[in-house]
Structures are given as C-alpha cells and as structure tokens.
Amino acid sequence: MIDFELTPEEQAMIDAAHKEALEVVRPISRYYDEHEHESPKDFIEQQWQQQAQGGGSILGLGVGASLRILENCWGDAGLMLVAPSSGLGGAAILASGTQEQQANFLKRFGEGEPKWGAMAMTEPGAGSDTAAIQTTAVLDTETNEWVLNGEKIFITGGQRSMESDGLVVVWATVDRTAGRAGMKPFVVEAGTPGATIDKVENKLGIRASDTATLILDNCRIPYENILGSPEVRRVDSSQTAGFKRAMATFDMTRPIIAAMALGVGRASLDFVRETLEKEGIPIRYGLPSHKLTAIERDVMEMEAAYKAALTLMLRATWMMSQFQPNSLEASMAKAKAGIVVAWITQKAVEMMGPLGYSRKYLLEKWMRDGKINDIFEGTGQINMLIVARRILDYTREELK
C-alpha cells in the first residue's frame, strides 16, 4: 500500500528545512540572482557542515527527502543546486555502478572540503535524442585506460564539480554505429588531464547555480571508471543496457526535479495568498463557481493543479524508495510539475500586476526559476512521449 505518512524525524527535517529557507536562504536569494557567478561561500560551508553532521546529501530517496527538497526550493531553487552533494553524478553512479564503485566514488562526499557531482549528457548536436551522442570513449589496450573525446554542454554544477574534489559522469559511446547500445557512463574525476571547463552559461533562472560546458580532449581515465559492462549488445535500441542505465538514472532524478518545481510553485502560491489576505480579499471555499470572483477561481485552480502534481511526485518518489519500477510515474510527475510550475508562476505574476513584475519581490524571479523544470532532465515533450509509449505499449520507433 502506498503510504505518504512521515516519521517524526522526517517531519522535523522538513520543518528545519522550511525554517532555514525562510531565515537563511530567502534573505540572500535576490543577491545571488543578480550576481550569477559569485559563489555563496558562507552558505556552501554551512550546507557542507550540515551534511557532515548527518543532514545527508541533496540526493535522497523517500517521501521525506523529496519534501525536504521542496522546502529547499521554496527558499531558492538555484541555491539548492549550489549546496554541495553528489548530485546527478551520484544518481548515475547509484543507478549504474557496482557496490564497489558506489562506495569508492561516493565516499568523498562526506569528508574533506565541499565538493559536487554532476552528469554530462547533452551535446551541441544531441539534446533529447541521446542516440545522437558523438562523444567517444576508446579503450587504449596498452595502458588499459579509456580515452574520451567530445564536448558536453549545459552541465548543472559542472564547474564546481571539476574545481572541487568532485566528479562528472560523462555519457559517451564506445561504438557510434550501435546507436543507444553503444552508450556508456564514465566517471571523470576532477583534475583529470584533458577534461576542461570551457565556459559557464549566463541564464534566465536558477542563476545561483553554475551551468557549464566540458571539453574532453584525449581525456584518459582508468578502466574501472566505466559504470557497468563495456560490452555492446545490439538488440532493440529501446532496451539496450546502456540506454536502460541512462533511463534508470532519470527515473531517480525526475521525481527530484518535480519536487524542485513544486517548491517554486508553492512559493508563488503562498505569495499570492498572503498578498490577497493583506488586502482583505478572502478566498471563499465551498461556494459554487458562478458565485466566485475571477481571482478566487484562479487561486483555486492553481491550488488544484499544485496538489495534483504533488500527488504524482509523491507517488513516483515512494515507488523509488521501495525500489519499484517507476519509469512511467517519474515521467508523469516531472512532466506535470514542469507544466504546473510554469503556469502557476506566470499566472501569479499576471494576477499581482506591478507587484509581480517588480524586482522588489521574488515573484518574477520564481517565474524565471520555474521554467527550467520543464526543460532539463528531459523536456516536457519528451516526458509526454515516454508516458504515451508506456501507456499505449508503443516502441520508440512506433511513436516519435
């Protein structure tokens, strides 16, 4: 039976996250939005100390962890991504690596100085179409090393991962002719010769976090840094081992992205409700629609959309925590949350008029921050395709 009930410890963790979001994160939110490439050193150190004392990584399993992330993003989504953690790189290692690899690569995220993990999938010519990946990995049999060449773009946390004692999981092909069957994940550790950050993007939203381009120029990594088997199995491309591992990673991270989106969406909803309350404008629940004002109907519709997306996110997260297959549910949650946060934040700005458009308040920022959730970790359109294929039992070739 699906159970969203929280333990006392989880509820205390969520309450603490909300308090921190309100008292620590919100006061610095605007500053780091306007100073995109300035690092919030005090905040980072505080987050790292909390993790070392048992606060845990940003990446987590379970309903409690997802609701904590929601609270983090209620404070600021960009700063949540700045908090040191194994991040998407850790998710890829958990999804694809052996127990030995997980222990070896992830142990660094609980010791020493702050560090980050990232995942590099997107390329200039390969976004949603992962079969088009051009980055190559060739085994040098004389040295028993993998040699990586290519360019990866739009890597969330890529700069910090490569400038700390962190890592980036790079998806590359060992055989271009094999399509998805040739896709393999490789751990590129910070400081590896031939792995260079080329640039850091200037962005619309989540400006506190860095989004980087990584150049791999004869980048040599140990043989054991491949996650999973190097064997290429030429079978149905939608069922190849490499592609399955990539999708397993997204099955873990898409509910987290949904939680991030919902944090931003709820921040916007709270602002609207608090503003209306200050102006003496009540929301009269329980009345038939024709007796409500346009504002009341809008707020209720926004709340209903938020709760629908929240339920999908909680279900996908709960299934993940129970180690149940959740590919359909993860894509549903991510797609719905991306649509909902974009609509809620835009509607909130529209309803609040000058208050929403003014940089005096954070509402316009939340509108900018929210949109990314409909784009990264698989666009809304791609996730809709995944949902349709799963429900209708169509292959990728049958439904594009």
The residues annotated with a catalytic role in the active site are 377
CA distances from 269 to 212, 245, 286, 309, 347 (A): 31, 37, 19, 14, 10
Name, in order, each residue with C-beta under 8 angstroms of 84's C-beta and a sequence gap of 6 or more. Answer: 44, 47, 48, 51, 109, 114, 115, 116, 164
Looking at residue 187, the DSSP 8-state letter turns out to be E
CA–CA distance, 348 with 366 (Å, rounded to integer): 10
Q: How many other C-beta atoms are found inside a 10 Å radius of the C-beta of residue 368?
A: 19
Among candidates 139, 161, 146, 152, which has minimal Cα distance to 220?
Answer: 146
Place of tokens 């060992």: 174
Name, in order, each residue with C-beta under 8 angstroms of 198's C-beta and a sequence gap of 6 or more. Answer: 151, 212, 213, 214, 215
CA–CA distance, 237 with 222 (Å, rounded to integer): 28
CA–CA distance, 252 with 59 (Å, rounded to integer): 9
> Buried (b) or exposed (e) across 205-228, using 16+ Cβ within 10 A?
bbbbbbbbbbbbeebbbeeebbbb
CA distances from 316 to 13, 56, 312, 385 (A): 21, 21, 6, 17
